Amino acid sequence: MERRNLSVKALAWLLALLLALPLESLAATTEPQLPDPGNPGMNKEQQEQFGLQAMAQVYQQMPVLPDSSPMTQYIQQLGKKLEAVIPPDHNWPYQFHVIPASDINAFALPGGPMFVNVGAIQAADNEAELVGVMAHEMSHVYMQHSAKQAPKAGVAQVIAGLAGAVLGGSSIGRLAAMGIQFGAGTMLMKYSREDESQADATGAIIMYKAGYNPKAMADFFTKLEQKYGGGGPQFLSDHPNPGNRQAAIEKEIAEWPPKTYTTSSDAFTKAKQEASSSKTYSAQEIDAGAKNGTWAQQNKKNGAVPANLPAAAGSSDNGTLANVSLKQVKPSGNFKQLQQNGFSISYPDNWQTGSGQNGVVIGPQQGVSQSGIAYGVMISAAQTNGGSLDQDTQQLIQGLVQSNPGMKADGNPSSINVGGTQGRSIYLTGTSPVQQNGRPVPERDWLVTLPDSQNGLMYLVFVAPQKDFNQLKPTYQKMLNGLQLK
């Protein structure tokens, strides 16, 4: 009986001790769980389809290392390690690839395709930092952020937006690629600060479960921000700082059960050595290669293109506009009307239109692709700083010239009257996607700017190879004469 009383007393004492403990102490015994990603209104099959379509664009416009590359195999090993901690009911068919680009960047597409730049491997001080970048990107897929950004967009718009945001490129190439049938816009992949906070928090849990200190993710982002500030790599512009992310991550993980973390490995050391000695390309070199179809051919030749990858939207058989001719794109004399928010315009009825979030492309199907525009017109709008039309036009010209290597303005803007609205007109010269004897031919661009109703700048860029521009000028002039602002 005495032994039983002692047991009861011991049990009561233990219970009292547990009740006296703060809730935080009890919470520290429970591992964090991944959040419910919610419902974006877009099913899993659609997201996987969109991701594969955008992925096809990547292989058209960027160099990608084959799966046999040691760096790719290393990144795939890390990726599978992270993927293993995600519950099957919320997992995606992740796949991991490496781009030989010197810029520090990584991105993931809906459905799971992920690309890591060699520059990101070079910039990481240890494996945990590299894992942090990958876990962060995986979290954007897990939380379905891209799908949630465009719940009302059509299928083609979503595919176009993904590809455009991933691929970037020169201004004319980017803006030309806003067409739905033709390729890409810039609709998605520019994550909000709320998205970034969620990706940080979710990525921290993935890292923790995989055996890495989540603080390494914050360390890497902080290092980039301190080194580059606001003018740093593409990664920072696509992933805005949600605010004191390092403190937020440290606060989140403070109450998690302690564990022994992996910081680095021999495999990381070898991969970083490989990255340091490998050939990489600048953003300008990648843009130039996309224009002439270099990467599409190289990726196919190297066996980098995954099996069963769908054809890139708007791509021709060789992924380039190099061989298109005026005869193939000759405009009809019959015009029809395109109605858009803010304007309407007439155009040849044998040409096509495509619209994205930031504008419209009108042109012949053979003259526009995901790699750029050879014939046609791009219509868009720009935010301004409240300056005069002349100042805003000059600022736009400077942006076009700076982001298009070899582009030059031909003189100064002149006044032009478009349907009763005073605008500005200027010709520019550049390099066309069209080639002759294996070399790009000169391009002529006609830029027309107009003040819009939102105190911004509406502009049109009529594009053609220099040798064909005069023959198309009457069509372009007729289109401009038919432009009506609302």
Other Cβ atoms closer than 10 A to 41: 12
Instruction: Break the chain down into helix, strand, coil percent, rounded to 5.
Output: 45, 20, 35
Kind and range of the H or E element at 339?
A: strand 335-340
Residue 188 has pLDDT above 80, yes or no: no
**Strands across the sheet containing 352-356:** 352-356, 359-363, 376-382, 457-465, 439-451, 421-436, 408-418
- At 214-265, the pLDDT tens digits run 999 989 988 887 776 554 455 555 566 666 778 888 888 989 999 999 999 9
Name which of 105, 119, 101, 109 is nearest 65 in CA terms.
101
Q: CA separation (Å) from 75 to 84, 232, 399?
A: 14, 24, 36
Question: What CATH number belongs to 326-485?
Answer: 3.40.1000.10
Name which residue leads in pLDDT, 117 or 184.
117
Q: What token pair was written down for 141?
A: 């897929």
pTM for this prediction: 0.62
Q: What is the C-alpha separation between 409 and 84, in angstroms, rounded? A: 54
Do residues 209 and 85 touch, judged by C-beta distance below 8 A? yes
- Average pLDDT along the chain: 80
Confidence at 390, pLDDT banded by 50, 70, 90: very high
Q: CA separation (Å) from 123 to 106, 130, 229, 319, 482?
A: 12, 9, 15, 32, 52
In this prediction, what percent of the chain has a pLDDT beyond 90? 43
Q: What is the pLDDT of residue 262?
A: 96
Average pLDDT over residues 376-399: 83
Token match 């007393």: residue? Answer: 9
- Residue boundaries of the structural domains of the chain: 44-150+188-301, 326-485
DSSP class of 332 = P
Do residues 115 and 104 touch, judged by C-beta distance below 8 A? no
Q: What is the pLDDT of residue 449?
A: 94
Q: What token pair was written down for 397?
A: 């010209």
Q: What is the C-alpha separation between 63 and 100, in angstroms, rounded? A: 7
- At 44-57, the pLDDT tens digits run 887 888 788 778 87
Q: What is the C-alpha separation between 176 and 363, in angstroms, rounded? A: 10
Residue 274 has pLDDT above 90, yes or no: yes
